[in-house]
Structure 1
Amino acid sequence: MRADPPRLNRRAFLAAPIALTACDRFAAAEPTTNALASPLKDIVPAPFGATGMTWQIDQPDWVEQVLRHCSQLTPEWEQKMERTLGPGFAYDFEPSDRVVAFARDNGLRVHGHTVIWYSQGAEVFNDDLPRARFAAEYDRYISTFVGRYKGRMAGWDVVNEPVAEDGGGLRDCHWSRALGMEGYMVRAFEQAQLADPDAVLFLNEYNLENIPRKGATFLRLAERLLKLGAPIGGIGTQSHLNIEIPAGQITTFMRDAASLGLPIHISELDFPMQRDGGRMPDLRSTAERRAQQAARAGELAEAFMALPERQRYAFTTWGLRDSDSWLVRAEGKNRPDESALLLDAWGRANPAYHAVAAAFTR
């Protein structure tokens, strides 16, 4: 097994030179060593997290890398309603229990993901269910699920992805049809607070940096829910970054988000090299894509670093190494050559790693 590199002082850490430009100061970040990357938990000015699944905790190499780099773990799938809730409102939390136990046994704090999501639950919480039964089972699910881990979770994604895809409004879903567009969200936060009063409760969403209209709608929603009395304790931006967005767009969103005064979670960070379908052939070189990744990841890290310390909840990547990414797996995007995370499959630094380290250690 390759020996770990010596631990470096945070301020002295830079495994590769960073060329700065006026527009994209992180765009030229390049690795110059094949050594294992220095632990991210020693570099990031907040808990550094990644996702974990039950099959991964049986893999020694994954465990080694997670314990090397992480101080926080998010269950990637085991706490989603498609896994925890079955027909007849039967609950199964065994996989969730296993991931939470692994994290706690290894000194990692746990971030819960996710309680209420528009994408799941409609098979059981369907439109034919009487409204009184719907509301009662909704409350029971949240209180049972969240309460099961009372005092053991740092925070929860209580409501996930409530904003319409284009940012033009809020999503219509089975929850909103039964309990009201804002009502289902307020109710979820209230029930979660009753079940786990010390956890930080998050409103979580994606494409907030990528689509300014969606970011603005999300922040207005957070303000509205707070005015309605929802005990929101933090906001989560998933940060599945489009590496082609203009420089400065991430910074603008983070500055606007910070104005709410709530803790902010970079909750699902990745930055795909490959475009989704529906466009012209992608003629960018690998070097150009890597430069775009480094620029956007570095800008995000710099914007996170600029937050007051009390607002830096955690900095989490969706998967730790490239090989762990949902983008690579067959049940995800099935892109075996994708490289969208800070570490490669062997735990070495990708170019974006150096850009993030530069932002956090300068």
Structure 2
Amino acid sequence: MNRRALLTSLALAPVIGGCRRMAVAGTPPPDLPPLRTITPGAFGTCVQVANLSDPAWLDLARTHVSQLTPEWEMKMEYILADGLGRPRLDRADRIAAFAHDNGMALHGHTLIWYAQGQEAFAGLDNAAFDRAFDGYIATVAGRYRGKVRSWDVVNEPILDDGSGLRDCHWSRRYGQDGYILRAFEKARIADPDAVLFLNEYNLEGIPAKGNQFLRLVERLLRAGCPLQGLGTQSHLWIDIPDGQIAAFIHELSQFGLPIHVSELDVSLRTGDRPDLRGQQERLVRQTARVTELAEAYSGLPPAQQFAFTTWGLRDTDSWFRRDDKDDGKDRPLPFDAFGQPNPMARALAAAFRA
């Protein structure tokens, strides 16, 4: 049995055996140490203000988590809901205060995203657009200066198929590379101490998109962009070919920059196509993908192991469980609805301790 197969079998053993150890809330089972204590770099999760009123979530987070990423309430859609003149920062403030009070790092997410901001900026002439763009970054990044460890400065600039960069309201004003450069330059001024990340999804699963990301990073660095970290969201699917995830992480590491696995989840769903495989077979595939990613991250030089973040802690926290296709059976995250470890949590622990 090779090493990856052994780690997969160890992660699945409690499920296959039909026995799941129960633990006091907030206390990990004896075979699962707090993930924050064994993860190279920080172990993170996303958070919404509603989580801060959930005692079970609080126990789980305080046990396993050392870094938080606001899932939605630090994004432009929330902050500019009342227009450019009245930014809403109340919920981001609450999350920042919670992170500070609990000794957790805070990763800011996100300053500029193609999917948000169009309505607030619509109708502005060029000069007003520039003032609003620069002012937004100065206001938000400046407010959390000294409170955040890092920022996703630009989120998801690449087309889904990897054929090029997205056309959006930002690129129509500044150019496809230009708006990214401008955002990083303004973020650097607003918070000189934060680590500034470019963040993107499906890099491991779609080679053309991964390659486009690498080329974009090369161009930005050549242009003098103060880009300091690379975020791969890692919303993985179970049928990514073996070895493809590790190969991309290796390519990403060649820049020598810190790497953030920034939004990990692995749905057991396979889209709309028929899939006759049972739940257990899908979990085996999921565990193999998670193991490969965690091993590749663990193999990075320590200076590049920035953080390993899951996009939620419990299955019921996941965005996959919020849509009209949810059948209550998906298990995309490390812990189940009761805070007990899924195979994913055990896969992470096995890989990080190997």
TM over 0.5: yes
RMSD of aligned residue pairs (Cα, Å): 1.5
Q: Select the residue among 209, 215, 233 that pairs with 2:210.
A: 215
The residue number in structure 1 matching 2:90 is: 94
**Matches of 1:295 and 1:360 in 2, distance apart?**
14
Q: Select the residue among 21, 24, 27 that pairs with 1:34.
A: 21
- State whether structure 2 residue 43 is matched by structure 1 residue 51: no
- Find the residue that maps to 1:224 and give its secondary structure: helix
Q: 1:240 to 1:182 in 2, by over 3 A?
A: same
**Matches of 2:2 and 2:244 in 1, distance apart?**
17
- Alpha-carbon shift at residue 335 of structure 1 (Å): 4.8
- State whether structure 2 residue 336 is matched by structure 1 residue 344: yes
**Matches of 2:57 and 2:353 in 1, distance apart?**
26
**Matches of 2:7 and 2:158 in 1, distance apart?**
31
Q: Select the residue among 286, 290, 294 that pairs with 2:287.
A: 294
- Alpha-carbon shift at residue 97 of structure 1 (Å): 0.6
Deviations, residues 262-302 of structure 1 (Å, cap 9, x unaligned): 0000000000001223x2x1111111100001000000000
The residue number in structure 2 matching 1:243 is: 238
The residue number in structure 1 matching 2:26 is: none
**Matches of 1:110 and 1:31 in 2, distance apart?**
34
Deviations, residues 85-136 of structure 1 (Å, cap 9, x unaligned): 132442111111111111111111100001000000001122x321111111
Q: Is the 8 A contact 2:67 2:107 kept in 1?
A: yes
**Matches of 1:219 and 1:213 in 2, distance apart?**
10
Q: 1:333 to 1:164 in 2, by over 3 A?
A: farther
The residue number in structure 2 matching 1:119 is: 115
The residue number in structure 2 matching 1:16 is: none
**Matches of 1:239 and 1:201 in 2, distance apart?**
18
Q: Is the 8 A contact 2:84 2:132 kept in 1?
A: no
- With the length of structure 2 as denominator, give the TM-score of the two structures: 0.92
Q: Is the 8 A contact 1:326 1:333 kept in 2?
A: no
**Matches of 1:39 and 1:282 in 2, distance apart?**
35
Deviations, residues 180-232 of structure 1 (Å, cap 9, x unaligned): 11111000001101011000000000000010110110011011111111101
- State whether structure 2 residue 345 is matched by structure 1 residue 353: yes
**Matches of 2:4 and 2:100 in 1, distance apart?**
42
Q: Is the 8 A contact 2:33 2:349 kept in 1?
A: no
Q: Select the residue among 162, 168, 179 that pairs with 2:174.
A: 179
**Matches of 1:157 and 1:93 in 2, distance apart?**
17
**Bigger shift: 25-34 or 217-226?**
25-34
Q: 1:122 to 1:334 in 2, by over 3 A?
A: farther
**Matches of 2:248 and 2:57 in 1, distance apart?**
33
**Bigger shift: 83-92 or 147-156?**
83-92
The residue number in structure 2 matching 1:306 is: 299
The residue number in structure 2 matching 1:325 is: 318
**Matches of 1:54 and 1:353 in 2, distance apart?**
24
- Alpha-carbon shift at residue 68 of structure 1 (Å): 0.4
Q: Which amino acid aligns with 1:282?
A: D
**Matches of 1:181 and 1:211 in 2, distance apart?**
21
Q: Select the residue among 145, 148, 151 that pairs with 1:150.
A: 145
- Alpha-carbon shift at residue 24 of structure 1 (Å): 4.8
- Alpha-carbon shift at residue 38 of structure 1 (Å): 2.6
Unpaired stretches in structure 1, ≥5 consecutive residues: 1-19
**Matches of 1:235 and 1:333 in 2, distance apart?**
32
Q: Which amino acid aligns with 1:291?
A: V
- Find the residue that maps to 1:262 and give its secondary structure: coil
**Matches of 2:345 and 2:321 in 1, distance apart?**
19
- Find the residue that maps to 2:120 and give its secondary structure: coil
Q: Is the 8 A contact 1:31 1:354 kept in 2?
A: no
**Bigger shift: 84-93 or 94-103?**
84-93
Matches within 5 A, 1:259-270: 259-270=254-265
Q: How many residue pairs end up in the alignment?
A: 339
Q: Is the 8 A contact 1:135 1:179 kept in 2?
A: no
Q: Percent of counterpart pairs with the same letter?
A: 51
The residue number in structure 1 matching 2:185 is: 190
**Matches of 1:178 and 1:333 in 2, distance apart?**
38
- Alpha-carbon shift at residue 22 of structure 1 (Å): 7.3
Q: Is the 8 A contact 1:329 1:335 kept in 2?
A: no
The residue number in structure 2 matching 1:134 is: 129
The residue number in structure 1 matching 2:160 is: 165
Q: Is the 8 A contact 1:27 1:292 kept in 2?
A: no
The residue number in structure 1 matching 2:17 is: none
The residue number in structure 2 matching 1:63 is: 58
The residue number in structure 1 matching 2:25 is: none
Unpaired stretches in structure 2, ≥5 consecutive residues: 15-19, 23-28
